[in-house]
Amino acid sequence: PSGHRSCTPRPAMPRATTSRSPALPPPAERPFDIDVALGRIERTVAAYPPAAMFELRDGDADHPAYGSLFQQLVACILSIRTLDETSLPAARRLFARAATPAAIAELQIDELDALIADSTFHEAKARQIHALAERTITEFGGTLPPDAEVLTSFSGVGPKCAHLALGVAAGIPVISVDIHVHRVTNRWGYVRASTPERTLAALEEILPERHRIDINRLLVPFGKHVCTGVRPKCSMCPVLDMCARVGVTEHR
Protein backbone atom coordinates (compact mmCIF):
# COMPACT_ATOMS: atom_id res chain seq x y z
CA PRO A 1 0.00 0.00 0.00
CA SER A 2 1.01 3.57 -0.55
CA GLY A 3 3.28 4.96 2.18
CA HIS A 4 4.77 1.59 3.19
CA ARG A 5 8.57 1.10 2.77
CA SER A 6 9.90 -1.92 0.92
CA CYS A 7 11.05 -4.74 3.18
CA THR A 8 13.50 -6.04 0.57
CA PRO A 9 16.84 -6.42 2.39
CA ARG A 10 19.77 -4.42 1.10
CA PRO A 11 22.78 -6.35 -0.17
CA ALA A 12 25.46 -6.75 2.47
CA MET A 13 28.43 -4.43 2.13
CA PRO A 14 31.78 -6.17 1.80
CA ARG A 15 33.90 -6.03 4.93
CA ALA A 16 36.97 -3.85 4.82
CA THR A 17 40.14 -5.83 4.85
CA THR A 18 43.22 -4.77 6.77
CA SER A 19 46.82 -5.65 6.13
CA ARG A 20 48.20 -7.74 8.95
CA SER A 21 51.78 -8.39 9.86
CA PRO A 22 52.94 -11.93 9.04
CA ALA A 23 52.74 -14.37 11.92
CA LEU A 24 55.95 -14.79 13.87
CA PRO A 25 56.98 -17.08 16.72
CA PRO A 26 56.67 -15.66 20.24
CA PRO A 27 59.44 -13.24 21.26
CA ALA A 28 62.60 -14.98 22.38
CA GLU A 29 63.09 -15.66 26.06
CA ARG A 30 66.58 -17.15 26.06
CA PRO A 31 69.66 -15.01 26.71
CA PHE A 32 70.86 -12.88 23.82
CA ASP A 33 74.17 -14.11 22.39
CA ILE A 34 75.97 -11.06 21.03
CA ASP A 35 78.70 -13.10 19.34
CA VAL A 36 76.21 -15.15 17.35
CA ALA A 37 74.03 -12.11 16.61
CA LEU A 38 76.80 -9.94 15.19
CA GLY A 39 78.16 -12.85 13.15
CA ARG A 40 74.78 -13.34 11.50
CA ILE A 41 74.29 -9.61 10.99
CA GLU A 42 77.72 -9.34 9.35
CA ARG A 43 76.49 -11.67 6.62
CA THR A 44 73.14 -9.89 6.27
CA VAL A 45 74.47 -6.34 5.91
CA ALA A 46 76.98 -7.35 3.24
CA ALA A 47 74.13 -6.76 0.79
CA TYR A 48 73.79 -3.08 1.81
CA PRO A 49 75.99 0.02 1.61
CA PRO A 50 78.36 0.25 4.59
CA ALA A 51 78.05 2.84 7.33
CA ALA A 52 79.24 6.17 5.95
CA MET A 53 82.26 6.73 8.21
CA PHE A 54 83.65 3.28 7.41
CA GLU A 55 82.98 3.79 3.71
CA LEU A 56 84.82 7.13 3.84
CA ARG A 57 87.77 5.54 5.64
CA ASP A 58 88.13 2.64 3.24
CA GLY A 59 87.46 4.40 -0.06
CA ASP A 60 86.75 2.46 -3.24
CA ALA A 61 87.63 2.39 -6.92
CA ASP A 62 85.96 5.75 -7.46
CA HIS A 63 86.81 7.55 -4.22
CA PRO A 64 90.05 8.04 -2.26
CA ALA A 65 90.20 6.94 1.36
CA TYR A 66 89.93 9.59 4.07
CA GLY A 67 90.78 7.83 7.29
CA SER A 68 92.75 10.21 9.51
CA LEU A 69 91.36 11.08 12.92
CA PHE A 70 90.92 14.70 11.82
CA GLN A 71 89.05 13.70 8.65
CA GLN A 72 86.82 11.27 10.51
CA LEU A 73 85.96 13.88 13.12
CA VAL A 74 85.10 16.44 10.45
CA ALA A 75 82.98 13.88 8.62
CA CYS A 76 81.11 13.03 11.80
CA ILE A 77 80.34 16.71 12.42
CA LEU A 78 78.90 16.86 8.89
CA SER A 79 76.77 13.79 9.58
CA ILE A 80 74.95 15.28 12.57
CA ARG A 81 71.21 15.53 11.79
CA THR A 82 72.05 14.69 8.18
CA LEU A 83 71.47 11.51 6.17
CA ASP A 84 74.52 9.48 5.18
CA GLU A 85 73.48 9.87 1.55
CA THR A 86 74.02 13.62 1.96
CA SER A 87 76.87 13.88 4.47
CA LEU A 88 79.19 11.41 2.72
CA PRO A 89 79.30 13.32 -0.60
CA ALA A 90 79.71 16.57 1.35
CA ALA A 91 82.74 15.18 3.20
CA ARG A 92 84.27 13.91 -0.04
CA ARG A 93 83.68 17.25 -1.73
CA LEU A 94 85.36 19.10 1.14
CA PHE A 95 88.36 16.76 1.33
CA ALA A 96 88.85 16.83 -2.43
CA ARG A 97 89.44 20.56 -2.00
CA ALA A 98 91.08 20.59 1.42
CA ALA A 99 91.95 17.35 3.23
CA THR A 100 94.25 18.52 6.04
CA PRO A 101 93.91 20.91 8.97
CA ALA A 102 96.27 23.36 7.28
CA ALA A 103 94.34 23.31 4.00
CA ILE A 104 90.98 23.77 5.72
CA ALA A 105 92.33 26.57 7.92
CA GLU A 106 93.38 28.43 4.77
CA LEU A 107 89.82 28.42 3.41
CA GLN A 108 87.53 31.35 4.02
CA ILE A 109 84.55 30.26 6.09
CA ASP A 110 82.16 31.12 3.26
CA GLU A 111 84.21 28.90 0.91
CA LEU A 112 84.05 26.06 3.41
CA ASP A 113 80.33 26.63 3.87
CA ALA A 114 79.72 26.36 0.12
CA LEU A 115 81.48 23.00 0.01
CA ILE A 116 79.30 21.52 2.77
CA ALA A 117 76.08 23.39 1.98
CA ASP A 118 74.03 20.19 1.64
CA SER A 119 74.65 19.28 5.28
CA THR A 120 72.07 20.33 7.85
CA PHE A 121 73.14 23.41 9.89
CA HIS A 122 75.99 23.90 7.41
CA GLU A 123 76.74 27.49 8.44
CA ALA A 124 77.37 26.53 12.07
CA LYS A 125 79.28 23.43 10.99
CA ALA A 126 81.53 25.51 8.71
CA ARG A 127 82.55 27.64 11.68
CA GLN A 128 83.07 24.59 13.88
CA ILE A 129 85.20 22.78 11.29
CA HIS A 130 87.30 25.87 10.63
CA ALA A 131 87.91 26.32 14.35
CA LEU A 132 88.72 22.61 14.66
CA ALA A 133 91.35 22.94 11.94
CA GLU A 134 92.93 26.02 13.51
CA ARG A 135 93.09 24.47 16.99
CA THR A 136 94.51 21.24 15.58
CA ILE A 137 97.37 23.28 14.16
CA THR A 138 98.00 25.70 17.03
CA GLU A 139 97.50 23.30 19.95
CA PHE A 140 98.47 19.90 18.53
CA GLY A 141 100.95 20.61 15.75
CA GLY A 142 98.53 19.53 13.03
CA THR A 143 97.78 16.05 14.40
CA LEU A 144 94.88 15.33 16.74
CA PRO A 145 95.65 13.10 19.72
CA PRO A 146 93.52 9.95 20.05
CA ASP A 147 91.91 11.18 23.25
CA ALA A 148 88.13 11.40 23.74
CA GLU A 149 88.42 14.21 26.28
CA VAL A 150 90.39 16.32 23.81
CA LEU A 151 87.99 15.60 20.95
CA THR A 152 84.89 16.49 22.95
CA SER A 153 86.47 19.83 23.87
CA PHE A 154 85.82 21.00 20.30
CA SER A 155 82.57 22.78 19.52
CA GLY A 156 80.10 20.47 17.80
CA VAL A 157 81.76 17.25 18.99
CA GLY A 158 79.95 15.07 21.52
CA PRO A 159 80.74 11.56 22.79
CA LYS A 160 79.07 9.89 19.79
CA CYS A 161 81.31 11.65 17.25
CA ALA A 162 84.43 11.42 19.40
CA HIS A 163 83.99 7.69 19.95
CA LEU A 164 83.10 6.98 16.34
CA ALA A 165 86.14 8.85 15.02
CA LEU A 166 88.43 7.11 17.53
CA GLY A 167 87.07 3.70 16.62
CA VAL A 168 87.07 4.14 12.85
CA ALA A 169 90.33 6.09 12.48
CA ALA A 170 92.43 4.84 15.38
CA GLY A 171 90.97 1.39 16.09
CA ILE A 172 90.37 2.29 19.73
CA PRO A 173 87.63 0.05 21.19
CA VAL A 174 85.09 2.65 22.25
CA ILE A 175 81.33 2.50 21.66
CA SER A 176 79.49 5.01 19.51
CA VAL A 177 75.72 4.99 20.03
CA ASP A 178 73.61 6.55 17.31
CA ILE A 179 69.86 6.17 16.84
CA HIS A 180 70.26 2.75 15.18
CA VAL A 181 72.50 1.27 17.87
CA HIS A 182 70.16 2.66 20.54
CA ARG A 183 66.99 1.33 18.93
CA VAL A 184 68.25 -2.11 17.90
CA THR A 185 70.02 -3.06 21.13
CA ASN A 186 66.97 -2.04 23.16
CA ARG A 187 64.59 -3.83 20.81
CA TRP A 188 66.65 -6.98 21.28
CA GLY A 189 66.34 -6.62 25.04
CA TYR A 190 70.15 -6.69 25.23
CA VAL A 191 69.99 -3.41 27.16
CA ARG A 192 67.07 -1.50 28.66
CA ALA A 193 67.68 2.23 28.39
CA SER A 194 65.52 5.21 27.54
CA THR A 195 68.12 7.43 25.85
CA PRO A 196 71.24 6.94 23.70
CA GLU A 197 73.35 8.22 26.59
CA ARG A 198 71.95 5.55 28.90
CA THR A 199 72.34 2.93 26.20
CA LEU A 200 76.02 3.87 25.96
CA ALA A 201 76.45 3.45 29.70
CA ALA A 202 74.65 0.10 29.63
CA LEU A 203 76.67 -1.19 26.68
CA GLU A 204 79.92 -0.18 28.36
CA GLU A 205 78.98 -2.55 31.18
CA ILE A 206 78.25 -5.63 29.07
CA LEU A 207 79.54 -5.36 25.50
CA PRO A 208 82.82 -7.24 24.97
CA GLU A 209 85.69 -5.01 23.88
CA ARG A 210 86.12 -6.95 20.64
CA HIS A 211 82.69 -5.74 19.45
CA ARG A 212 82.89 -2.09 20.47
CA ILE A 213 83.78 -0.74 17.03
CA ASP A 214 81.74 -3.27 15.07
CA ILE A 215 78.53 -2.55 16.97
CA ASN A 216 78.23 0.72 15.06
CA ARG A 217 79.65 -0.59 11.79
CA LEU A 218 77.06 -3.39 11.70
CA LEU A 219 73.98 -1.90 13.34
CA VAL A 220 73.87 1.26 11.23
CA PRO A 221 73.12 -0.60 7.97
CA PHE A 222 71.13 -3.25 9.87
CA GLY A 223 68.98 -0.55 11.49
CA LYS A 224 68.51 1.32 8.22
CA HIS A 225 67.51 -1.66 6.11
CA VAL A 226 66.22 -4.48 8.35
CA CYS A 227 65.52 -3.47 11.96
CA THR A 228 63.91 -0.19 10.91
CA GLY A 229 62.27 2.29 13.23
CA VAL A 230 58.79 1.74 11.79
CA ARG A 231 57.55 -1.76 10.90
CA PRO A 232 60.86 -3.61 11.15
CA LYS A 233 61.42 -6.47 8.72
CA CYS A 234 61.20 -9.19 11.36
CA SER A 235 60.38 -11.85 8.76
CA MET A 236 63.90 -11.52 7.31
CA CYS A 237 65.77 -10.85 10.55
CA PRO A 238 68.76 -13.16 11.14
CA VAL A 239 68.45 -12.86 14.93
CA LEU A 240 64.69 -13.26 15.26
CA ASP A 241 65.12 -16.38 17.39
CA MET A 242 66.97 -14.33 20.04
CA CYS A 243 65.11 -11.01 19.83
CA ALA A 244 62.68 -9.94 22.55
CA ARG A 245 61.05 -7.51 20.07
CA VAL A 246 60.62 -4.87 22.76
CA GLY A 247 58.14 -2.23 21.62
CA VAL A 248 57.38 -3.88 18.27
CA THR A 249 53.64 -3.73 17.55
CA GLU A 250 53.72 -4.07 13.78
CA HIS A 251 56.28 -5.60 11.49
CA ARG A 252 56.95 -6.79 7.96
The pLDDT score that the predictor gives to residue 241 is 93
Average pLDDT score over the chain? 92
The pLDDT score that the predictor gives to residue 24 is 72
The pLDDT score that the predictor gives to residue 27 is 75
- Domains (range + CATH), the chain: 34-242 (1.10.340.30)
The pLDDT score that the predictor gives to residue 90 is 98
The pLDDT score that the predictor gives to residue 10 is 58
Arithmetic mean of pLDDT, 42-66: 96
Contact (Cβ atoms closer than 8 angstroms) between residue 69 and residue 146:
yes
Output the 3-class SS for 14-61: CCCCCCCCCCCCCCCCCCCCHHHHHHHHHHHHCCCCCCHHHHHHHCEC
Contact (Cβ atoms closer than 8 angstroms) between residue 133 and residue 104:
yes
Least confident of 16-30, 86-100, 114-128, 164-178: 16-30
Is residue 224 part of the annotated active site? The answer reads no
pLDDT at 242 over 80: yes
Single pTM value for the model: 0.86
- Rounded distance between C-alpha atoms, residue 73 and residue 196, angstroms: 19
Distance of CA 91 to the CA centre of its chain: 16
Arithmetic mean of pLDDT, 160-168: 97
- Rounded distance between C-alpha atoms, residue 115 and residue 109, angstroms: 10
pLDDT at 221 over 70: yes
| From 125, 160, 224, 233, active-site residue | 160
Contacts of 54 (CB under 8 A, 6+ apart): 168, 217
